[in-house]
């Protein structure tokens, strides 16, 4: 298909992005630190880390990895942190040392954590003390040689750090006791790293930057291999799309979505480091009153989120930030899940700017499509392909379809991953020989090149922007001795967009829904746990014995 969208691009948006502007993410960071030294780079709990401090501290952490931990180029460093100042320091320290970052969801259960660490072969991890006990349970079954433990307040001023760390441990009781022999404190690693000079490591576009785990469309989590070139390209593509409203060294972006998620990683952290922006990190966006307080006292110009988060903000008492913000807000971006029209319209009425919806996936670093910034109202579309990106709507045989017909969305561009880590067969299923990525999502494109999401291929459930893979939940359900059969689907949910519902055939007649949910909580992250359990005498199956999830979803309650 010809790129019909180009003639409908907003004024000033080029057809191609300058994807060769930076040699690597290391290059991008070092240039920004040099240009914006005195500017705040990241702000957390009212305390800012300047670009100069980010430069020095990430160098120190990288030097510790090289000279104290003895890690070499290409080794994997896991980061298991919420949105705290420690995250960008650890991230850029590892990348500058030539290592590969493995982002880890801090809410993982021990089972999920063990899979990701074992699969990636990570030899070092930075973990928040709050989650150290989970790591303790499985550390012996991994390749980890070095564990770095940090506390919430570790990069805050000394008095503030003591108060915050005391409150987390003894008032909120949020940091259970743990034992990890040989673990090093993050602050100690920085102090020791300062004694060494970071050894210069040549990093190129072809070097791996991240193993970013995703379930794709089915099965256990797979590590998408994202290179420095992939991420630099997507930063430049994103900047080409939104750059008309941004000013170097002036932007303040609010980041409530977790940085371990590829959307916030690219759209917030990496993109706004390029622009010399100040990234205001929200460690716990579920604390809506606390989040609203930050918004009321921060003159921010950009915010990103998902539909459910925007809805919670709009419903929150005291969410009157427009006057306090003095009209500074330029851009509000929504990704990760479909935006509901009611939420988009309420947001625009309240804040004076539209929600700009886009589309992406981990395998594309992640941004593929975005709506024009000059949109005046909600369209329901996921937008046009961003610069240097080609998309096609294809039928089941892989043949391109004309505008107006629904089919699978295929993507080609410099942001597309190299493949899945150690999974050649899975890679072959989604990547063609000429570099086209099969997204697994059903979409349609109009004559202007605007893409509209139709439905999610297969059976992935999206809970507040997080993907839940039914196979994984079903596997956990089947581990319970009282379960004979299990099927999992997504059902509409007013708060989270979708919720997980389990259909179960009992092996033990005494089995209860509460017992099953408790079992799942012990083995799955909270957003994956079924919100509803329905017991059945039998489950609908195909001739080859596969549970027919669509039949379960369509059956009357």
Tell me, what CATH number does 533's domain have? 3.30.300.30
DSSP string, 407-456: EEEEEESTTS-SEETT-HHHHHHHB-TTSPEEEEEEEEE-TTS-EEEEEE
Instruction: Please report where in the chains the tokens 């990760």 appear, as a residue.
Output: 336
DSSP string, 322-387: HHHHTT---EEEE-SSPPPHHHHHHHHHHHSS-EEEEEE-GGGSSEEEE--TT--S--S--BEEPT
What is the rounded average pLDDT of the residues 341-349? Answer: 88
In a shared domain, residues 475 and 442: no
Close Cβ partners of 200 (under 8 Å, ≥ 6 residues apart) = none
Q: What is the 3-state secondary structure (H, E, C) of 178-233?
A: CCCCCCEEHHHHHHHHCCCCCCCCCCCCCCEEEEEEECCCCCCCEEEEEEHHHHHH
Q: Chain-wide mean pLDDT for the chain?
A: 93
Give domain status of residue 369, yes or no. Answer: no
Alpha helices in 108-154 (DSSP H): 110-120, 132-138
In a shared domain, residues 426 and 544: no
In a shared domain, residues 97 and 132: yes
In a shared domain, residues 72 and 184: yes
> In the chain, how many domains are there?
3
What are the E-state strand segments in 32-117? 40-44, 47-50, 76-80, 100-103
Burial of 260 (0-12, 13-18, 19+ CB in 10 A): buried
Lowest mean pLDDT among 237-251, 369-383, 524-538: 369-383
Q: Which two tokens stand for residue 343?
A: 């939420």
In a shared domain, residues 195 and 56: yes
Q: Is 51 helix (H, G, I), strand (E, B) or coil?
A: helix
Distance separating alpha carbons of residues 442 and 452, to the nearest angstrom? 9
CATH (domain of 393): 2.30.38.10
CA nearest to 240, candidates 411, 391, 382, 415: 415
From the CB of residue 249, how many other CB atoms can be counted at a distance below 10 Å? Answer: 14
Question: Is residue 112 pLDDT above 60, yes or no?
Answer: yes
Distance separating alpha carbons of residues 71 and 66, to the nearest angstrom? 5
In a shared domain, residues 172 and 54: yes
Plot region of 360 (φ>0 → left; ψ -120 to 50 → alpha; else → beta): beta
Q: Strand pairing partners for 147?
A: 125
Residue 321 has what pLDDT? 74
Residue 544 has what pLDDT? 47
Residue 341 has what pLDDT? 82
Query: 412, 432, 456: which is the final residue of a domain?
Result: 456
Burial of 486 (0-12, 13-18, 19+ CB in 10 A): buried
Strands 419-420 and 222-227: antiparallel
Task: Starting at the earlier edge strand, list the strands of the sheet with 208-214.
Answer: 184-185, 146-150, 124-128, 76-80, 100-103, 208-214, 222-227, 419-420
Per the structure, the complete domain to which residue 431 belongs is given by: 388-456
In a shared domain, residues 485 and 520: yes
Name the helix (H) or strand (E) containing 462.
strand 461-463
Residue 215 has what pLDDT? 66
Residue 456 has what pLDDT? 66
Give domain status of residue 269, yes or no. Answer: no
What is the rounded average pLDDT of the residues 531-545? Answer: 82
Plot region of 484 (φ>0 → left; ψ -120 to 50 → alpha; else → beta): alpha
Give domain status of residue 142, yes or no. Answer: yes
> Contact at 8 Å (CB) between 86 and 189?
no
What is the rounded average pLDDT of the residues 452-470? Answer: 82
Close Cβ partners of 12 (under 8 Å, ≥ 6 residues apart) = 244
Give domain status of residue 169, yes or no. Answer: yes
Please provide residue 313's backbone torsions phi and psi, each rounded to the nearest 5 degrees.
Answer: -65, -45
What is the rounded average pLDDT of the residues 126-138? Answer: 98
> Contact at 8 Å (CB) between 356 and 334?
yes
pTM to 2 decimals?
A: 0.87
From the CB of residue 466, how many other CB atoms can be counted at a distance below 10 Å? Answer: 19
Looking at the chain, the whole-number percentage of residues with pLDDT higher than 90 is 81
In a shared domain, residues 483 and 543: yes
Residue 545 has what pLDDT? 54
CA distance from start to end of the chain: 43
Q: Which two tokens stand for residue 450?
A: 């605007």
In a shared domain, residues 530 and 477: yes
Q: What angle do CA 544, 549, 552 make, to 5 degrees?
A: 120
Plot region of 340 (φ>0 → left; ψ -120 to 50 → alpha; else → beta): beta
Give Cα 503 to chain centroid, integer Å: 29
Give domain status of residue 189, yes or no. Answer: yes
Q: How confident is the model at residue 76 (pLDDT cuts 50, 70, 90)?
A: very high
Lowest mean pLDDT among 268-282, 320-334, 400-414: 320-334
Between the alpha carbon of residue 457 and those of residues 380, 442, 528, the distances in Å are 19, 6, 19
Over the stretch 302-317, which tens digit does the pLDDT of each residue have?
A: 999 988 899 889 999 8
Give domain status of residue 4, yes or no. Answer: no
Over the stretch 165-209, which tens digit does the pLDDT of each residue have?
A: 999 999 999 999 999 999 999 999 999 999 999 999 999 999 999
Query: 154, 175, 203: which is the final residue of a domain?
Result: 203
Q: Is 19 helix (H, G, I), strand (E, B) or coil?
A: coil
Question: Is residue 509 pLDDT above 50, yes or no?
Answer: yes
CATH (domain of 111): 3.40.50.980
Over the stretch 406-457, which tens digit does the pLDDT of each residue have?
A: 889 999 999 999 999 999 999 999 999 999 999 998 899 999 999 998 766 6
Give domain status of residue 188, yes or no. Answer: yes
Q: What is the dihedral of CA 244, 250, 256, 259, to 10 degrees?
A: 80
Give domain status of residue 39, yes or no. Answer: no
Over the stretch 11-49, which tens digit does the pLDDT of each residue have?
A: 999 999 999 999 999 999 999 999 999 999 999 999 999
Q: How confident is the model at residue 98 (pLDDT cuts 50, 70, 90)?
A: very high
Distance separating alpha carbons of residues 521 and 506, to the nearest angstrom? 19
Query: 409, 440, 456: which is the final residue of a domain?
Result: 456
In a shared domain, residues 116 and 74: yes
In a shared domain, residues 112 and 193: yes
What is the rounded average pLDDT of the residues 384-413? Answer: 95
Question: Is residue 218 pLDDT above 50, yes or no?
Answer: no
In a shared domain, residues 113 and 169: yes
């Amino acid at each position: 298909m010809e790129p019909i969208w180009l003639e409908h691009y907003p004024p000033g948006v080029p057809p191609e992005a300058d994807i060769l502007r930076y040699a690597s993410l290391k290059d991008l960071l070092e240039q920004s630190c040099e240009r914006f030294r005195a500017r705040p780079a990241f702000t957390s709990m009212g305390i800012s880390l300047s670009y100069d401090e980010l430069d020095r501290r990430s160098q120190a952490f990288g030097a510790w990895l090289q000279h104290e931990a003895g890690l070499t180029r290409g080794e994997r460093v896991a980061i298991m942190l919420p949105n705290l100042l420690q995250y960008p320091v650890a991230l850029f320290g590892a990348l500058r040392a030539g290592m590969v970052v493995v982002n880890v969801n801090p809410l993982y259960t021990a089972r999920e954590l063990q899979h990701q660490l074992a699969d990636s072969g990570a030899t070092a991890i930075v973990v928040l003390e709050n989650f150290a006990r989970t790591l303790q349970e499985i550390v012996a079954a991994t390749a980890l040689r070095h564990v770095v433990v940090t506390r919430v307040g570790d990069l805050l001023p000394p008095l503030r750090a003591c108060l915050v760390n005391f409150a987390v441990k003894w008032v909120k009781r949020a940091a259970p006791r743990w034992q990890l022999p040989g673990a090093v404190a993050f602050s100690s690693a920085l102090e020791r790293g300062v004694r060494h000079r970071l050894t210069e490591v040549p990093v190129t576009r072809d070097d791996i930057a991240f193993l970013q785990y995703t379930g794709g469309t089915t099965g256990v989590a797979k590590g998408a291999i994202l290179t420095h070139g992939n991420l630099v390209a997507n930063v430049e593509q994103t900047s080409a799309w939104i750059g008309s409203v941004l000013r170097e060294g002036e932007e303040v972006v609010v980041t409530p979505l977790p940085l371990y998620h590829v959307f916030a990683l690219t759209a917030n952290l990496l993109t706004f480091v390029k622009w010399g922006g100040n990234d205001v990190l929200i460690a716990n966006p579920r604390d809506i009153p606390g989040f609203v307080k930050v918004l009321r006292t921060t003159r921010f110009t950009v915010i990103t989120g998902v539909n459910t988060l925007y809805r919670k903000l709009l419903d929150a008492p005291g969410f009157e930030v427009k006057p306090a913000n003095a009209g500074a807000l330029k851009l509000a971006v929504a990704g990760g899940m479909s935006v509901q029209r009611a939420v988009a319209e309420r947001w625009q009425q309240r804040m004076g700017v539209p929600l700009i919806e886009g589309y992406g996936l981990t395998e594309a670093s992640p941004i593929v499509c975005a709506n024009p910034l000059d949109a005046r109202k909600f369209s329901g579309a996921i937008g046009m392909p961003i610069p240097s990106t080609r998309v096609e709507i294809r039928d089941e045989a892989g043949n391109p379809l004309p505008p107006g017909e629904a089919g699978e969305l295929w993507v080609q561009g410099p942001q597309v991953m190299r493949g899945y880590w150690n999974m050649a067969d899975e890679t072959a299923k989604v990547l063609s020989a000429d570099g086209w990525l099969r997204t697994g999502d059903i979409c349609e494109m109009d004559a202007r090149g605007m893409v509209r999401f139709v439905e999610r291929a297969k059976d992935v459930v999206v809970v507040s922007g997080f993907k839940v893979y039914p196979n994984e939940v079903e596997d956990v359900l089947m581990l319970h001795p009282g379960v004979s059969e299990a099927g999992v689907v997504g059902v509409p949910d007013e708060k989270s967009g979708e919720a997980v519902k389990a259909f179960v055939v009992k092996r033990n007649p005494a089995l209860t829904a509460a017992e099953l949910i408790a079992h799942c909580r012990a083995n799955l992250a909270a957003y994956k746990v079924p919100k509803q359990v329905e017991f059945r005498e039998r489950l609908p199956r195909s001739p080859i014995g596969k549970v027919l999830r669509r039949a379960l979803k369509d059956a009357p309650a």
